[in-house]
């Protein structure tokens, strides 16, 4: 396709979304776009490129075989060879998935035996090797295997550039999931559009995820890297089987992932280290090189961390209800945090109102304000009609009902974190609630007019769960 080749040459180097658009425009496979780019950048014929691609994987495939046969890892032990010795399905009845997971695990163990050649890191090299091995075992021809391996290198290379600090989000989990999703669609005969959708879905749950084990805590890496295979295959197959609206381009998702990756390294990793450090594997020969005072101080710090973790875990337990009173009321709109909590704030305000409602003012912190398309219908149905978070019929028509009733609505973005403030103006009075957003449809009730006491009583009367402002909290 000379036109496609010329278009690629004008656009070099290609992003994923650019590859997708070129493939769609020329009715080509995404891998053909990637390989044409490689031809232009290297000056080599396609056959030679594919031969060299497989040569790039030779060491990692050897390490993987060692891991599955008899390799032993300081962190994972002999889990791969143990799993390989199982008769019949090991974890899943889907034989391809089962093998991809086994050999991914083998690559992880092999990494600790003879090392791996890293892409974004050694983490994402594991699912690439595992998936390639599964293809070899399940009858894919050599060219298709090599093309898939090349696709991994093209996409993984973008993550390699984006990974500038520690984090599984841009490596074993994130890069791995996105690449496995792309490969699943590629070998399944899916369209370029399906491939991009699958990659977006696969990358999304990995955003910001740190390297929890810090390459020092036993076992944890298995589900990070194996999870990439599970998520990637699921995303790929799902997008080939259903028509789903995924409106985020992969380039946007990747850019967000790269930026969140840096922030995770700054903000999340220190907390991870604080809690995981007591469980780091240590080598006596190395520890002997460190002074006794340092080792003693480390021991004290670790003990304090364990005590603190126990106290916080107990605080979480202390905040729970009976298992018969744990689930909250149903919440329409898809999010108990973005819809349920502000709707319940509005319901409390409704209970305080006397007279005919003339105006509703809604003040939301930036994260909620950005999600106003899903929470304003709930807030209005709660403020004007007192409808519960479970009223899906009212949710679908509340905005139009309020407009038809001639009620003025003012929606304002405010800067204070977590705040959701509702004010109702009637022909007789003005009432308001000042609350903080919490997940599960819950909220912190900070102030209310004309009476905080009346607002607290209203919340109890209509079954809204209030929580304290302090403590361990989550907005999801």
Domain boundary among 271, 287, 313: 271
Answer yes or no: do 336 and 266 share one domain.
no
Please indicate, yes or no, if residue 312 is contained in any of the structural domains: no
Answer yes or no: do 257 and 343 share one domain.
no
Answer yes or no: do 267 and 366 share one domain.
no
Answer yes or no: do 12 and 140 share one domain.
yes
- The string of pLDDT tens digits covering residues 237-274 is 999 999 999 999 999 999 999 999 999 999 999 999 98
Evaluate if residue 54 carries a pLDDT over 80: yes
- The string of pLDDT tens digits covering residues 404-438 is 999 999 999 999 999 999 999 999 999 999 999 99
pLDDT-wise least confident of 72-81, 103-112, 128-137, 298-307: 298-307
- Distance from the Cα of residue 404 to its chain's centroid: 40
Answer yes or no: do 32 and 153 share one domain.
yes
Convert the chain into a string of H (helix), E (strand) and C (coil).
CHHHHHHHHHHCCCCHHHHHHHHHHCCCCHHHHHHHHHHHHHCCCHHHHHHHHHHHHHHHHHHHHHHHHCCCECCCECHHHHHHCCCCCCCCCCHHHHHHHHHHHHHHHHHHHHCCCCCCCHHHHHHHHHHHHHHHHCCCCHHHHHHHHHHHHHHHHHHHHHCCCCCHHHCCCHHHHHHHHHHHHHHCCCCHHHHHHHHHHHHHHHCCCCCCCCCCCCCCHHHHHHHHHHHHHHHHHHHHHCCCCCCCCHHHHHHHHHHHHHHHHHHCHHHHHHHHHHHCCCCHHHHCCCCHHHHHHHHHHHHHHHHHHHHHHHHHHHCCCCHHHCCCCCCHHHCHHHHHHHHHHHHHHHHHCCCCEEEEEEEECHHHHHCHHHHHHHHHHHHHHCCCCCCHHHHHHHHHHHHHCCCEEEEEECCCCCEEEEEEEECCCEEEEEEEECCCCCEEEEEEECCHHHHHHHHHHCCCCECCCCCCCCCC
pLDDT of residue 38: 98
Evaluate if residue 470 carries a pLDDT over 70: no
Domain boundary among 271, 297, 322: 271
Q: What's the pLDDT band for 475 if we cut at 50, 70, 90?
A: very low
How confident is the model over 90-105, as a mean pLDDT? 98
Domain boundary among 271, 289, 318: 271
- The string of pLDDT tens digits covering residues 172-227 is 999 999 999 999 999 999 999 999 999 999 999 999 999 988 888 999 999 999 99
Answer yes or no: do 388 and 264 share one domain.
no
Please indicate, yes or no, if residue 419 is contained in any of the structural domains: yes
Taking Cα atoms as reference points, which of 32, 12, 53, 232 lies closest to residue 150?
Answer: 53
Evaluate if residue 473 carries a pLDDT over 80: no
- The string of pLDDT tens digits covering residues 98-137 is 999 999 999 999 999 999 999 999 999 999 999 999 999 9
- The values of phi and psi at residue 303, to 5°, are -65, -40
Domain carrying residue 211: 2-271
Q: What is the CATH number of the domain that holds 370?
A: 3.30.1330.90
Query: Rounded to an integer, what distance in angstroms lies between the CA atom of residue 86 and that of residue 425?
Result: 69
Angle at 287 between CA 282 and CA 292, to 5 degrees: 130
Query: Rounded to an integer, what distance in angstroms lies between the CA atom of residue 101 and that of residue 88?
Result: 14
Answer yes or no: do 259 and 116 share one domain.
yes
Sheet with 430-437, edge to edge strand ranges? 408-413, 357-364, 419-426, 430-437, 443-449
Cα–Cα distances in angstroms (integers) from residue 339 to residues 218, 330, 335, 346, 385, in the given order: 39, 11, 6, 11, 16
Predicted TM-score of the model (pTM): 0.88
Answer yes or no: do 249 and 362 share one domain.
no
Answer yes or no: do 245 and 352 share one domain.
no
Please indicate, yes or no, if residue 288 is contained in any of the structural domains: no
If one counts the domains in the chain, the total is 2
Please indicate, yes or no, if residue 180 is contained in any of the structural domains: yes
Please indicate, yes or no, if residue 7 is contained in any of the structural domains: yes
Q: What is the CATH number of the domain that holds 85?
A: 1.10.4100
Residues sharing a CB contact under 8 Å with residue 275, sequence separation 6 or more, in sequence order? 305, 309
Answer yes or no: do 57 and 201 share one domain.
yes
pLDDT of residue 332: 87
Answer yes or no: do 114 and 257 share one domain.
yes
Please indicate, yes or no, if residue 306 is contained in any of the structural domains: no
Query: Rounded to an integer, what distance in angstroms lies between the CA atom of residue 411 and that of residue 408?
Result: 10
Q: What percent of the chain lies above the pLDDT cut of 70?
A: 99
Please indicate, yes or no, if residue 346 is contained in any of the structural domains: yes
Please indicate, yes or no, if residue 317 is contained in any of the structural domains: no
Taking Cα atoms as reference points, which of 251, 31, 35, 24 lies closest to residue 158?
Answer: 251
Answer yes or no: do 376 and 233 share one domain.
no
């Amino acid at each position: 396709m000379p036109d496609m080749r010329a278009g690629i040459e004008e656009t070099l180097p290609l992003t994923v979304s650019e590859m997708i658009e070129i493939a769609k425009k020329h009715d080509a496979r995404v891998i053909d776009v990637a390989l044409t780019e490689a031809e232009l950048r290297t000056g080599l014929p396609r056959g030679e490129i594919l031969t060299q691609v497989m040569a790039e994987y030779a060491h990692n495939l050897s390490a993987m075989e060692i891991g599955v046969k008899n390799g032993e890892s300081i962190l994972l032990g002999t889990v791969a060879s143990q799993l390989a010795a199982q008769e019949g399905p090991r974890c899943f009845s889907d034989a391809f998935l089962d093998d991809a997971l086994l050999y991914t695990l083998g690559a992880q163990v092999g990494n600790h035996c003879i090392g791996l050649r890293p892409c974004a890191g050694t983490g994402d090299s594991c699912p690439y090797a595992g998936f390639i091995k599964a293809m070899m075992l399940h009858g894919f021809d050599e060219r298709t295997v090599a093309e898939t391996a090349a696709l991994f290198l093209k996409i993984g290379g973008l993550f390699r550039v984006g990974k500038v600090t520690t984090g599984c989000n841009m490596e074993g989990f994130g890069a791995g999931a996105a690449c496995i999703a792309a490969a699943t669609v590629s070998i399944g005969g899916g369209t370029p559009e399906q491939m991009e959708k699958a990659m977006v879905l696969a990358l999304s749950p990995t955003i910001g995820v740190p390297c929890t084990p810090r390459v020092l805590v036993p076992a944890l890496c298995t589900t990070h890297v194996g999870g990439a295979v599970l998520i990637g295959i699921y995303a790929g197959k799902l997008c080939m089987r259903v028509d789903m609206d995924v409106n985020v381009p992969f380039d946007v998702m990747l850019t967000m992932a790269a930026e969140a990756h840096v922030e995770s390294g700054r903000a999340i990793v220190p907390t991870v280290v604080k809690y995981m450090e007591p469980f780091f594997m240590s080598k006596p020969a190395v520890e002997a090189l460190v002074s006794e005072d340092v080792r003693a101080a480390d021991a004290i710090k670790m003990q304090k961390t364990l005590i603190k973790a126990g106290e916080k875990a107990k605080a979480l337990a202390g905040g729970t209800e009976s298992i018969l009173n744990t689930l909250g009321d149903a919440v329409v709109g898809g999010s108990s945090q973005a819809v349920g909590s502000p709707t319940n704030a509005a319901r409390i305000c409704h209970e305080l109102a006397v007279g005919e409602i003339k105006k509703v003012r809604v003040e939301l912190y930036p994260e909620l304000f950005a999600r106003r398309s899903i929470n304003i219908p709930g807030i209005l149905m709660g403020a004007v009609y007192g409808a519960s978070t479970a009223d899906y019929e009212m949710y679908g028509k509340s905005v139009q009902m309020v407009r038809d009733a001639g009620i003025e609505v003012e929606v304002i973005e405010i800067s204070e974190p977590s705040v959701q403030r509702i004010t109702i103006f009637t022909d007789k009075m003005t009432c308001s609630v000042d609350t903080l957003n919490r997940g599960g449809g819950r909220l912190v009730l900070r102030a209310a007019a004309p009476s905080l006491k009346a607002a607290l009583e209203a919340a109890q009367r209509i079954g809204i769960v209030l929580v304290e402002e302090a403590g361990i909290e989550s907005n999801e």
